[in-house]
Amino acid sequence: MVASAAYIEETNTQVEKLVSVFERQKNAFKYSPIPTAKERVQNLKKLQQVLVKHQSALTQALSKDFGTRHSDVSTLNDIMLSLENIKYQAKRVKKWMKPSKPHVGIKLQPVAASVHYQPKGVVGIIAPWNFPVAMAMLPLATALAAGNRAIIKPSEFTPHTAQAIQLMIEDVFTEDEVAVVPGEMEVGIEFTKLPFDHIVFTGSTVVGKHVMRAAAENLTPVTLELGGKSPAIISNNVPLKDCVERLLYGKTTNAGQICISPDYILCPPSRIDEFVETCKSVFTSFYPTIKNNGDYTSIINDRQYQRLLGHIEDAKAKGATVIEINPASEQLNSAARKLPLHLILNPTDDMICMQEEIFGPILPIKACSSVENALSYIREQPRPLSLYYFGYNKTEQKMVVENSISGSMCLNDTINQLSIDDMPFGGTGPSGMGNYHGYDGFKELSHAKSVLSRPRYNAIKPLYPPYDRFFHKLVNKFMVK
């Protein structure tokens, strides 16, 4: 009872702080709504410098939260990814801020028209637990480039990282510029109820629906990056070692806890046995041992670990063949939360692993006789966040690009599309909406204000009422075609 009361008191305190910070940022934006290009670049450079300064603290916090997560995994996928994006935006934000010149039809000439990209105001950022630094810093950098203020709600599953991010942000920003408000699920619920000027959410489709529903009460626009089941198509003639190395890099980095990780395989039936054997060889070369291997990331918590075990047991119970790769896995126990790669052969669509996003080192392999059949199957499923094709045939590559709809895709690679700052990143349909990264992200978190300016001479005055006069007849005769 005492613990429960303490929990409630702490939650109430966090919610009060959240509301207070939100109001401070709203008021600050009223009095200083449009930072200059110089100020935005300064903010981005401050973020860059403080991220470098706190790198060690962040990677250590990430290791504590996961149990086992190599510092190189965190450096490459959280720190370096964030830094590259911040530097990219700092170099270009001045150019992005320049008003664009839209086309103006002859009816309105002579006028000057322009589109000015202005800050929206206060942006709410809800970060996930799988890459909690990068998935907070990427939208934050975009929000700052667009001239906004921001509040970050880190995941409750990574409390050490949340604290490290909070200390880092407080090192260089005041709370009315950027703030971090950690807390449990209740804080997140209250977060989505606030009338932000924009919310960026990265997480599951289920939670994304709740975020969008809450945001709708305030007519708050949302950017949702929601994941989903990202398929990988294997062609009939791609060298399997090339394919599997790249595929398993994307599937086993962070133990598959990546929103754009390959979720299931569509493979020609005649190649499945070779594909399985190649997976065994490649995975073992990546991770010769599992239990005491610091290179192999743990599942984030027991809840997620048990969920993944449930996927495996469900597949076995429904007739699938499950292959656990790596002989050392027999020494594992649930306390370590180390789950080796599991291949699921002959999966059926009623299995949980074929219905829900896996988000872990489980890989269903479904027989599919041709690329055309693979595309037909994918089109019957909810639109994925990413799609992968492995094959060097240019005709097939073109077929896959032109006959599939997904948030992004790779030909002969996996997950690295997220690292390209100049390409939009986002989902479509159940895998999300909106984009961030680069100029697309800048526009996403900016208000595009149209401005029309007419000179002293009013050329369209002859078109004013009363109608059915000479100029109206002239327009009707020569321009309505």
328-349 average pLDDT score: 81
In the predicted model, is pLDDT for residue 329 greater than 70? Answer: no
Q: What is the mean pLDDT of the chain?
A: 93
pLDDT at 1: 43
105-116 average pLDDT score: 86
Dist. CA 46–CA 32, nearest whole Å: 19
Both tokens assigned to 41: 């670049």
Dist. CA 438–CA 89, nearest whole Å: 7
Q: Which CATH architecture has domain 231-426?
A: 3-Layer(aba) Sandwich (3.40)
pLDDT at 331: 56
Both tokens assigned to 94: 């001045």
* pTM of the complete model: 0.93
Q: Contact, 265 vs 421, CB < 8 A?
A: no
User: Among all residues, which ones are annotated catalytic?
Assistant: 225, 259
pLDDT at 111: 87
Q: Contact, 366 vs 344, CB < 8 A?
A: no
pLDDT at 334: 66
The letter for the amino acid at 425 is F
* Domain covering 2-226+435-448 in this structure, CATH number: 3.40.605.10
pLDDT at 267: 98
124-152 average pLDDT score: 97
In the predicted model, is pLDDT for residue 475 greater than 90? Answer: no
Q: Contact, 205 vs 128, CB < 8 A?
A: no
301-319 average pLDDT score: 96
pLDDT at 7: 84
183-195 average pLDDT score: 94
In the predicted model, is pLDDT for residue 107 greater than 80? Answer: no
**Nearest Cα to Cα of residue 258 among 228, 280, 283:** 228
Domain boundaries, the chain: 2-226+435-448, 231-426
The interaxial angle of helices 394-402 and 371-379, nearest 10 deg, is 10
Please report, for residues 41, 147, 276, 460, the alpha-carbon distance to residue 36 in angstroms, rounded to integers and kept in the order given.
Answer: 9, 8, 56, 36
